[in-house]
Amino acid sequence: MPTLAIVGAGSQLGAAVARRFAREGFAVALISRTAERVEAVAEELRGEGINARAYAANVKDRPALREALDAAAAELGAITALQYSPLPAREFMRPILETTVEDLQSAIEFSVYGALTAAHHVLQNMRFMGGGTIIFVNGGTAVRPLAKFGGTSVAFHGESALGAALHEALEPDNIHVGQLVIPGGIIAGHPRKDPVALAEKLWSMHTERGEFRVFAGDMDADG
């Protein structure tokens, strides 16, 4: 059974993506910082007949993130798809003139170091298996920096550069690396940015393996 690992899994997008991939036969590893919350999501999904398990790890704790991915692979099967979509902390959303070096360091650890840790940790097996998918999910500041959101404007650009470089480097190995940009954030009921619509978009990115960057909405939305 193929396994999808969602780093930053929650009750909205994470749960919707888990349901979409499970319909295609995937087991789902849900990884998040708060054990109680992510276990509640996994329990709900298991109640729907989905093979889902929860793992607690802070993406800034690189050993813990690796351990969670190892545990998921051991219990569910080799990870063939990875979604990196943790929700940015509040301090990453401060205006650039109020953003400290410590804020920015934390944001980069979160968006760049955590993303690279997760990607590197699943790549060896994907290359051995002959293929896989890695998708980074970001807000609109990954493309258009905004002075009012200092940390994400800088860190998401770093994550975008990382993803684009991996996309180029791994294409010969049949590993698709993509980025889904959601300007303005997730909006329930929105035709393109509702969690179910976004889950469908992520599934199509996994199957169609097209360009690196895909937009879930128009860039006139903030964030």
What pTM, to 2 d.p., does this model score? Answer: 0.95
Q: Is residue 104's pLDDT more than 70?
A: yes
Tens-digit pLDDT profile for residues 54-101 = 999 999 999 999 999 999 999 999 999 999 999 988 888 899 999 999
Tens-digit pLDDT profile for residues 14-23 = 999 999 999 9
The chain-wide mean pLDDT, for the chain, equals: 96
Average pLDDT over residues 164-172: 98
The band of 217, judged by pLDDT with boundaries at 50, 70 and 90, is: confident
pLDDT for residue 93:
87
Tens-digit pLDDT profile for residues 145-161 = 999 999 999 999 999 99
The band of 42, judged by pLDDT with boundaries at 50, 70 and 90, is: very high
pLDDT for residue 115:
98
Instruction: Work out the angle at residue 214's Cα, subtended by the Cα atoms of residues 140 and 4, and round it to the nearest 5 degrees.
Output: 100
pLDDT for residue 223:
59
Q: Return the residue matching tokens 């509640």.
A: 40
Q: Is residue 191's pLDDT more than 90?
A: yes
pLDDT for residue 157:
97
| The two three-digit tokens of residue 140, written as one number | 């609109």
Q: Nearest-CA neighbor of 79 among 87, 71, 89? A: 71
Q: Is residue 221's pLDDT more than 70?
A: no
Q: Is residue 1's pLDDT more than 90?
A: no
Tens-digit pLDDT profile for residues 106-147 = 999 999 999 999 999 999 999 999 999 999 999 999 999 999
pLDDT for residue 220:
75
pLDDT for residue 78:
96
Domain 3-215 belongs to what topology?
Rossmann fold (3.40.50)
Q: Nearest-CA neighbor of 151 among 117, 206, 100? A: 100
pLDDT for residue 16:
98
